[in-house]
């Protein structure tokens, strides 16, 4: 039953999307048909017009575009019932598009969409819908930007038994247990946050960014308007590279683009067979938002923080796979040995195709530093070398980004100090185009907005937090979900750090 509802809702959403794409075409043909109706009415003695038909004819006189004579003749042959059906289709397509926009709190665009419908003023259903959107818009209140929480995940665990096996003997299995979240946990958290009124916003929604005549970026708090029972949150995903170290531990193996142009995951099952599906945050969140358009503000998605040393998104795109330096990592060497067909340009082209689909889907990319480096500890020189490697190996595939999400939760300065004008590393990263900086502080919220930068602390919703919250040793996620209801029964006890 639930599955049936899911399927039919998905079908509905797909249908909505198709309508939107075809709206222009449908509108055009509807106009043609209606013009045909006008011609017919002139040729044959018309029946008594209903008010509605009269209104439609009036609209036609003002809106019909000049059309080729032959086309008109052809369209005249269409039966009248078909014409009405088409015009209803057009209206329901417009309403569907507007409703979707309004569900995502974009009431202005929703109203604009309805007003793009010729003769909407004389259509009771359309004007009623406009009033409805206006009322909803008026009921919205501004979000307190200072209190917006930012949560993040790593790649999700598809097969917890495999991922968490051998806790006593395998240090990586312990790491998996501490830092990773299972698909089951992610789905429960996402549903609970939605039920509690959380709405996904983009990092950039939190500010208003302007550029002066010198091209300098200036930042000030932005405005997000939501219904009073809603709360905003930001989402990011770290390390979406499918590192070699993930192999055999029950994670997806790479991101791919499916036949509909949507980002999906490839997963290699225990028996070695490969399947494609929703095996990580991107496709799971996409599916959730498709089914709950009110879970995202104006279509916002998350930010994906990428390193470069093992490539990106499961593709071995780093130059080191081709140059094979003396000191290359053992796992890279092994991977190259088992993949004699490796071709850097092919990997990069495939990765770019996937990155393009992810961006088209509304997600954004950020740097996580090329080498997952500790920016606080690193020398200035190392930071520069690392940043250049990111610019050469990752940026050409995902595009330029203004956001850096630091690895190991490190940062360039204390929170209270902020980034001061004498902060050499900050000045360098600013020069390199970064204006948005995120660390990990696990606080409910920490937002710092200065004229020249935006800074936000993040919270890891991982095994460590979920486990210690679930046993009552920690209280750091209860504003978002109840950890004891969310924890995967397949997760073993997590050791202290
Ligand atoms: Zn990381």
- For 90-104, write each residue's pLDDT tens digit: 889 999 999 999 999
Structure confidence at residue 21 (pLDDT): 56
Q: What is the pLDDT of residues 119-170, one digit of tens each?
A: 999 999 999 999 999 999 999 999 999 999 999 999 999 999 999 999 999 9
173 neighbors 164 (Cβ within 8 angstroms): yes
Q: Give the span between the Cα atoms of 39 and 72, in whole angstroms.
A: 9
**162 Cα to the center of ligand 1, angstroms:** 22
Taking alpha carbons only, the member of 145, 302, 109, 142 closest to residue 219 is: 145
**409 Cα to the center of ligand 1, angstroms:** 8
Structure confidence at residue 172 (pLDDT): 96
**151 Cα to the center of ligand 1, angstroms:** 14
**209 Cα to the center of ligand 1, angstroms:** 27
Give me the mean pLDDT over the 368-391 stretch: 97
Structure confidence at residue 26 (pLDDT): 47
Structure confidence at residue 309 (pLDDT): 97
**46 Cα to the center of ligand 1, angstroms:** 72
Give me the mean pLDDT over the 326-330 stretch: 93
**154 Cα to the center of ligand 1, angstroms:** 8
pLDDT reading at 344 higher than 80: yes
**272 Cα to the center of ligand 1, angstroms:** 28
| Residue % of the chain over a pLDDT of 70 | 83
Q: What is the pLDDT of residues 198-242, one digit of tens each?
A: 999 999 999 999 999 999 999 999 999 999 999 999 999 999 999
**373 Cα to the center of ligand 1, angstroms:** 9
Give me the mean pLDDT over the 171-180 stretch: 97
Q: Give the span between the Cα atoms of 210 and 218, in whole angstroms.
A: 5
Structure confidence at residue 88 (pLDDT): 73
Structure confidence at residue 87 (pLDDT): 73
**252 Cα to the center of ligand 1, angstroms:** 17
**244 Cα to the center of ligand 1, angstroms:** 14
pLDDT reading at 395 higher than 90: yes
Structure confidence at residue 82 (pLDDT): 63
Q: What is the mean pLDDT of the chain?
A: 88
**473 Cα to the center of ligand 1, angstroms:** 25
Q: Give the span between the Cα atoms of 455 and 448, in whole angstroms.
A: 5
**25 Cα to the center of ligand 1, angstroms:** 46
Structure confidence at residue 68 (pLDDT): 41
**238 Cα to the center of ligand 1, angstroms:** 5
CB atoms within 10 A of CB 414: 7
Structure confidence at residue 90 (pLDDT): 84
Min mean pLDDT across 87-96, 115-124, 261-270, 397-406 is at 87-96
Give me the mean pLDDT over the 350-360 stretch: 98
CB atoms within 10 A of CB 385: 14
- Most confident stretch, 59-63, 74-78, 304-308: 304-308
pLDDT reading at 46 higher than 50: no
More confident residue, 101 or 80: 101
Work out the pLDDT band at 13, boundaries 50, 70, 90.
Answer: low
**27 Cα to the center of ligand 1, angstroms:** 49
**420 Cα to the center of ligand 1, angstroms:** 25
Min mean pLDDT across 74-83, 267-276, 452-461 is at 74-83
Task: Write down all domains in the chain, each with its CATH number in brackets.
Answer: 2-139 (no CATH), 145-486 (3.20.20.370)
Q: Is 210 left (phi over 0), alpha (psi -120 to 50) or beta?
A: beta
pLDDT reading at 185 higher than 80: yes
454 neighbors 436 (Cβ within 8 angstroms): yes
pLDDT reading at 66 higher than 60: no
Taking alpha carbons only, the member of 355, 338, 332 closest to residue 245 is: 332
pLDDT reading at 174 higher than 50: yes
Structure confidence at residue 497 (pLDDT): 84
Structure confidence at residue 14 (pLDDT): 52
Q: What is the pLDDT of residues 424-448, one digit of tens each?
A: 999 999 999 999 999 999 999 999 9
CB atoms within 10 A of CB 68: 9
- Tokens linked to 265: 């995951």
**153 Cα to the center of ligand 1, angstroms:** 10
Task: Look up residue 428 and give its DSSP letter.
Answer: H
**457 Cα to the center of ligand 1, angstroms:** 14
**152 Cα to the center of ligand 1, angstroms:** 10
Label the pairing between strands 231-238 and 149-153.
parallel
Min mean pLDDT across 34-48, 145-159, 312-326 is at 34-48
pLDDT reading at 5 higher than 70: no
Q: Measure Cα distances from 412 to 93, 131, 373, 376, 379 in Å.
A: 50, 49, 12, 5, 12
Give me the mean pLDDT over the 166-194 stretch: 97
pLDDT reading at 115 higher than 50: yes
Q: Is 249 left (phi over 0), alpha (psi -120 to 50) or beta?
A: alpha
Q: Give the span between the Cα atoms of 261 and 258, in whole angstroms.
A: 5
**390 Cα to the center of ligand 1, angstroms:** 14
């Amino acid at each position: 039953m639930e599955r049936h509802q899911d399927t039919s809702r998905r079908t509905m959403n797909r249908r909505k999307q198709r309508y939107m794409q075809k709206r222009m075409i449908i509108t055009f043909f509807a106009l043609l048909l209606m013009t045909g109706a006008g011609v017919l009415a002139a040729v044959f003695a018309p029946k008594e017009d209903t008010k509605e038909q009269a209104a439609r004819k009036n609209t036609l006189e003002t809106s019909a575009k000049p059309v080729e004579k032959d086309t008109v003749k052809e369209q005249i042959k269409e039966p009248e019932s078909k014409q009405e059906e088409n015009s209803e289709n057009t209206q329901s397509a417009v309403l569907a598009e507007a409703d979707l926009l309004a569900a995502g709190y974009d009431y202005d665009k929703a109203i604009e969409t309805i007003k793009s419908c010729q003769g909407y003023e004389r259509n009771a259903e359309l004007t009623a819908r406009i009033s409805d959107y206006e009322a909803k818009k008026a009921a919205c209140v501004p979000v307190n930007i200072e209190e917006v929480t930012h949560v993040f995940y790593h790649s999700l665990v598809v097969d917890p038994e495999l991922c968490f096996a051998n806790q006593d003997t395998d240090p990586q299995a312990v790491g998996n247990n501490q830092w990773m979240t299972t698909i089951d946990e992610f789905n429960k958290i996402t549903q609970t946050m939605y039920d509690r009124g959380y709405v996904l916003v983009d990092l950039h929604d939190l500010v208003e960014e302007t550029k002066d005549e010198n091209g300098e970026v200036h930042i000030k708090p932005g405005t997000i308007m939501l219904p009073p029972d809603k709360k905003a949150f930001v989402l990011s995903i770290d390390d979406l590279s499918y590192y070699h170290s993930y192999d055999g531990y029950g994670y997806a193996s790479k991101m791919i683009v499916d036949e509909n142009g949507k980002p999906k995951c490839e997963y290699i099952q225990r028996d070695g067979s490969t399947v494609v599906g929703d095996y990580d945050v991107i496709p799971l969140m996409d599916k959730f938002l498709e089914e709950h358009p009110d879970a995202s503000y104006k279509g916002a998605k998350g930010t994906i923080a990428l390193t470069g040393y093992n490539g990106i998104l499961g593709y071995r795109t780093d130059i080191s796979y081709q140059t094979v330096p003396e000191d290359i990592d053992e796992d890279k060497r092994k991977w190259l040995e088992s993949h004699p067909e490796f071709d850097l340009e092919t990997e990069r082209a495939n990765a770019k195709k996937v990155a393009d689909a992810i961006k088209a889907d509304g997600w954004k990319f950020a740097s996580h530093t090329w080498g997952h480096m500790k920016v606080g500890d690193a020398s200035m020189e190392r930071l520069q070398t690392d940043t250049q490697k990111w610019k050469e190996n990752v940026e050409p595939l995902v595009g330029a980004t203004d956001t850096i999400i630091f690895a190991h939760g490190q940062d360039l300065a204390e929170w209270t100090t902020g980034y001061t004008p004498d902060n050499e590393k900050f000045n360098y990263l600013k020069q390199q185009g970064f204006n948005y900086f995120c660390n990990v502080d696990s606080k409910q919220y920490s937002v710092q907005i200065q004229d020249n930068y935006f800074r936000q602390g993040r919270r890891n919703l991982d095994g460590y937090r979920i486990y210690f919250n679930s046993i009552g040793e920690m209280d750091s996620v209860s504003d978002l979900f109840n950890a004891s209801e969310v924890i995967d029964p397949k997760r073993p006890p997590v050791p202290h750090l």
